[in-house]
Structure 1
Amino acid sequence: MVKVEFLGPINKDSVKIEANSLEQLSQILKKDAQISSWLENCAVAVNDTIICSKDVALKDGDRVSLLPPVCGG
């Protein structure tokens, strides 16, 4: 299982999901209406490393973070 964290304004508790790749995880998360609207705009990190492709294998114990865009000043 991988732990998925939803940071910033997504405002959802972390969940543990059985997924073997970011592509598979994306398909699972798209089924949640609260999360699906964020998926296209979020950066994704696996174990604190920003990922640019969904073609990434996940292993048991990995931590995936969804990082929504933010404004700052």
Structure 2
Amino acid sequence: MVKIEFLGPINKENIEIQAHSLKELKEFLKQDESLQEWLGLCAVALNDKIIFDENQPLKSGDKIALLPPVCGG
């Protein structure tokens, strides 16, 4: 199982799912209408390191964090 954390204003509870790649995870998350606006905006971290490759393999115990853009002053 892969743990997914939704940070900042996404306002969703963390979940755990079975996914073997970032691409597979993205397809699963697209099914949730409340996440659709965020998926194109968020950076993705795998075990606290930003990743970009949708073919990145995932293994049980991995932690994925969706990082929405933020601004501050």
Residues 3-14 of structure 1 mapped to structure 2, 5 A cutoff: 3-14=3-14
Shift of residue 52 of structure 1? 1.5
Provide TM-score, normalisation by structure 1. 0.97
Distance in 2 between residues matched to 1:21 and 1:62, nearest whole Å: 11
Paired amino acid for 2:19: A
**Corresponding residue number in structure 2 for 1:18:** 18
Aligned residue for 1:13, secondary structure, equals coil
Residue 54 of structure 2 is matched in structure 1 by 54
Gaps of 5+ in 1: none
Following TM superposition, the consecutive aligned residue runs of length 4 or more in structure 1 with deviations greater than 2 angstroms are none
* TM-score, normalising length: structure 2: 0.97
Counterpart CA distance in 2 for 1:59 and 1:7 is: 21
Matched-pair identity in %? 56
- Helix, strand or coil at the partner of 2:56: coil
Aligned residue pairs total: 73
**Deviation string, structure 1 residues 8-65 (Cα, Å, up to 9, x no partner):** 0000000001100000000000000111210000000000000022120000000000
User: Could you say what the CA RMSD is over the residues aligned between the two structures, in angstroms?
Assistant: 0.5
What are the ranges of 5 or more consecutive residues in structure 2 without an aligned counterpart?
none
